[in-house]
Amino acid sequence: MVSNTPRYIFITGGVVSSLGKGLASAALGALLQSRGYKVRLRKLDPYLNVDPGTMSPYQHGEVYVTDDGAESDLDLGHYERFTGVSATQSDNITTGRIYSNIISKERKGEYLGATVQVIPHVTNEIKEFITSDAGNVDFVLCEVGGTVGDIEGLPFFEALRQLRQELPINQSCHMHVTLMPFIAAAGEMKTKPTQHSVKELRSIGIQPDILLCRAEREISDSDRKKISRFCNVRESSVIQGLDASSIYTVPLSYHYEGLDSEVLSHFNIKNAPSADLSKWQKISDTLKSPDGEVIIAVVGKYTVLPDAYKSITEALVHGGIANKVKVKIKWLEAEEFENNDDIELLKSIHGILVPGGFGQRGSEGKIKAANLARTMLLPYFGICFGMQMAVIEAARNMAGIEHASSSEFDMEGENIVGLMTEWSKGGEKIHRNLETDLGGTMRLGQYPAILTKGSVVEREYGKLKISERHRHRYEVNIDYKERLEAVGMLFSGISPDGLLPEIVEIPNHPWFVGVQYHPELKSRPFEPHPLFSGFIKAALMQSRLV
């Protein structure tokens, strides 16, 4: 059902950040898909970093990596999980990237002597990003990060305003996400922040077509009327977005509130197919009435900010969906775990996951977690750094390499894990040394691996050749394969050239798997990642033992 020019839906936010704009965009994408339309989702980030790759997870949450190796905003993860459409390099852009493109064009003399300015050069670059390479889709949903009124966001809002005029009539829609706070002292919901936010938006020339008002309580008819009147938006286009018990119930509830039908009527689309939401209903039912519960300890470094592990959290939920159980996460701070004796605590959990990470802080705690999981026969899932730490643990305690370490934080030890200075991608050699830039120089994106016949991972994947997304600088040194295999750690996944260990496992253990890549990035609620399903299944068996 693809029309010639896609229709554009612009999603902006007001009042406060963290209103779930990314989720709202993903949910709307899923609703349009459920009516048979093809969608594409994009994110514009007004900050000055070229990409979020060099930002601390405390600042920005997780860095989501696409198949083609873009280090991007975590909202792209929501888009992929909800719509199943794989995002690419051209789906996320930042002010930093836009300026760096413009400056390099200016240096090459491409502006033919013109004065390079925010309008039209920056705004043109933004519009080009929004409209280029849209593919064969019916709708492009384009979310702007930050909140209306932010200085950095202005060129983006200006570009949206211009696009509205340049696109054919009825080809674009502005949806603005705001907050309706409940003031306990007054016992009332308040419309004023929404009014102010829309006023701000209109002052820069954008009249929203749809308002999604996030609220913790039902919005009354009179408040809806008031918002409609003051914000110049049709009453039926004031949609309430209530807090949800699970993000996977959001498409259903926004559909119930009329979001997708309002969008379609804005575009004047008549006789649209009705929405088939049966798969969302099924997921929502499974989540509401699980058959049991497993508890997974996640031993990480940024545990105070769950957004830092967004895809891990979601992939665990998906593993739970596959096994019809609820997965409860116990966040353990790696550094604390290093010093405390938490064996008692581990008795009440059913599996340990050590996620990706960088640097020395907390590394010994993660090594200890791998050791306890291995020796207490608790299911263990090591991801990227978590795999590297499991290998160091095995080297130290199974193979007797006392000073086994990683050159990421220890140049003195015996480096079982070391900096990768060259590797091949698509037949080309990529080189790097200690001095290269930090940004964008890791092994990034999708790479294939060959699995060992009869291994746990072959059983879980059900095939021998896989392809997974990477984001790391260091690698386990293949030279240690024989010594570690001799003491019981199997290298069950290797790069096709035989040089890079991609998976290790311990066959003589209920479930102990470490992977150099990030399987969580490819897990979907409707297609849980096989390793997350397998890990949760093993944890479920463990829960029946204790």
Q: How far is the CB of 63 from ligand GLN (least distance, A)?
A: 9
Q: How far is the CB of 419 from ligand GLN (least distance, A)?
A: 8
C-alpha span between 275 and 272 (Å, rounded): 9
The residue (of 274 and 433) whose beta carbon lies closer to ligand GLN is 433
Residue 472 binding ligand GLN, by CB under 6 A: yes
The residue (of 147 and 388) whose beta carbon lies closer to ligand GLN is 388
| Structure token pair of residue 151 | 């200085």
Tokens 């902006």 map to which residue? Answer: 12
**Part in contact with ligand GLN (CB under 6 A); list of ranges 53-61, 115-123, 165-173, 469-477:** 469-477
Residue 310 binding ligand GLN, by CB under 6 A: no
Q: How far is the CB of 15 from ligand GLN (least distance, A)?
A: 34
User: Looking only at residues 335 through 394 of this chain, which bind ligand GLN when binding is defined by CB under 6 A?
Assistant: 356-358, 384-385
**Part in contact with ligand GLN (CB under 6 A); list of ranges 82-90, 426-434, 465-473, 520-528:** 465-473
Is it true that the peptide bond before 120 is cis, omega within 30 degrees of 0?
A: yes
Q: Which of 105, 330, 432, 473 binds ligand GLN (CB under 6 A)?
A: 473
Q: Which of 143, 158, 408, 520 binds ligand GLN (CB under 6 A)?
A: 408
C-alpha span between 237 and 209 (Å, rounded): 7
C-alpha span between 452 and 504 (Å, rounded): 10
**Part in contact with ligand GLN (CB under 6 A); list of ranges 171-179, 245-253, 265-273, 468-476:** 468-476
- The number of beta carbons lying within 10 Å of the beta carbon of residue 290 is 15
The residue (of 380 and 474) whose beta carbon lies closer to ligand GLN is 474
**Part in contact with ligand GLN (CB under 6 A); list of ranges 83-91, 140-148, 451-459, 467-475:** 467-475
Positions annotated as catalytic residues are 384, 518, 520
**Which residues, including other chains, have CB under 8 Å from residue 191's CB and lie 6 or more apart?**
180, 223, 226, 227, 230
Q: Which of 471, 522, 529, 537 binds ligand GLN (CB under 6 A)?
A: 471
**Part in contact with ligand GLN (CB under 6 A); list of ranges 5-13, 27-35, 445-453, 471-479:** 471-479
The residue (of 47 and 385) whose beta carbon lies closer to ligand GLN is 385
Q: How far is the CB of 238 from ligand GLN (least distance, A)?
A: 43
Cα–Cα distances (Å) from 58 to 55, 92, 235, 301, in that order, read 8, 20, 39, 10
C-alpha span between 121 and 111 (Å, rounded): 9
Query: Which parts of 46-161 are beta strand (E)?
Result: 64-65, 71-72, 92-94, 139-144
The residue (of 190 and 481) whose beta carbon lies closer to ligand GLN is 481
The answer to whether residues 89 and 70 touch, using CB atoms and an 8 Å cutoff, is yes
C-alpha span between 453 and 177 (Å, rounded): 51
**Helix, strand or coil for residue 208?**
coil
The residue (of 467 and 508) whose beta carbon lies closer to ligand GLN is 467
Q: Where are the alpha helices (DSSP H) in 7-114?
A: 21-33, 57-60, 75-83, 95-107
The residue (of 69 and 356) whose beta carbon lies closer to ligand GLN is 356
The answer to whether residues 298 and 332 touch, using CB atoms and an 8 Å cutoff, is yes
**Helix, strand or coil for residue 343?**
helix
C-alpha span between 503 and 516 (Å, rounded): 6
Residue 423 binding ligand GLN, by CB under 6 A: no
Please give the residue ranges that form the binding site for ligand GLN (CB under 6 A).
Answer: 356-358, 384-385, 408, 471-474
